Amino acid sequence: FTPSNLANPTALQLQSPLQEDKLMTSRNFLEELKCLFLRVRNPPKHALEELIRQIIKCNLNSVEGLEWLRIGLRQFGDFRNKFLDGIERLANLFKEKRNKQGILETTLPQKEDIDDFIDEEKTIIVLRHWLNAVKIDDLRREDSMIYLNNLVKKAVIYNYNTRDPERTKTLDVMTKNLAVPSRNGRNFA
Question: Cβ-count burial of 123 within 10 angstroms (0-12 exposed, 13-18 middle, 19+ buried)?
Answer: buried
Domain ranges (residues) in the chain: 3-175
Q: In the prediction, which pLDDT does 139 show?
A: 92
What's residue 22's pLDDT? 83
H-only helix segments in the chain: 3-7, 9-39, 45-51, 63-100, 111-117, 120-131, 136-141, 144-158, 165-169, 172-175
Rounded to two decimals, the pTM is 0.84
- Paired strand residues for 182: 134
- Most confident among 6-10, 51-55, 184-188 (mean pLDDT): 51-55
**Per-residue pLDDT band at 183 (split at 50, 70, 90):** confident
pLDDT of residue 67: 95
Q: Which of 3-12, 46-55, 86-95 has the lowest mean pLDDT?
A: 3-12
pLDDT at 1: 35
Residue-level pLDDT at 99? 93
Mean pLDDT value of segment 43-55: 94
* φ and ψ of 184, to 5 deg: -75, -5
Other C-beta atoms within 10 Å of 189: how many?
A: 25
Q: Residues 6 or more apart from 80 whose CB is under 8 A from it?
A: 41, 42, 165, 168, 169
Would the pLDDT of 7 be above 70?
no
Give me the percent of the chain exceeding a pLDDT of 90: 76
With contact defined as beta carbons under 8 Å apart, do 183 and 133 qualify? yes
CA nearest to 64, candidates 75, 53, 74: 53
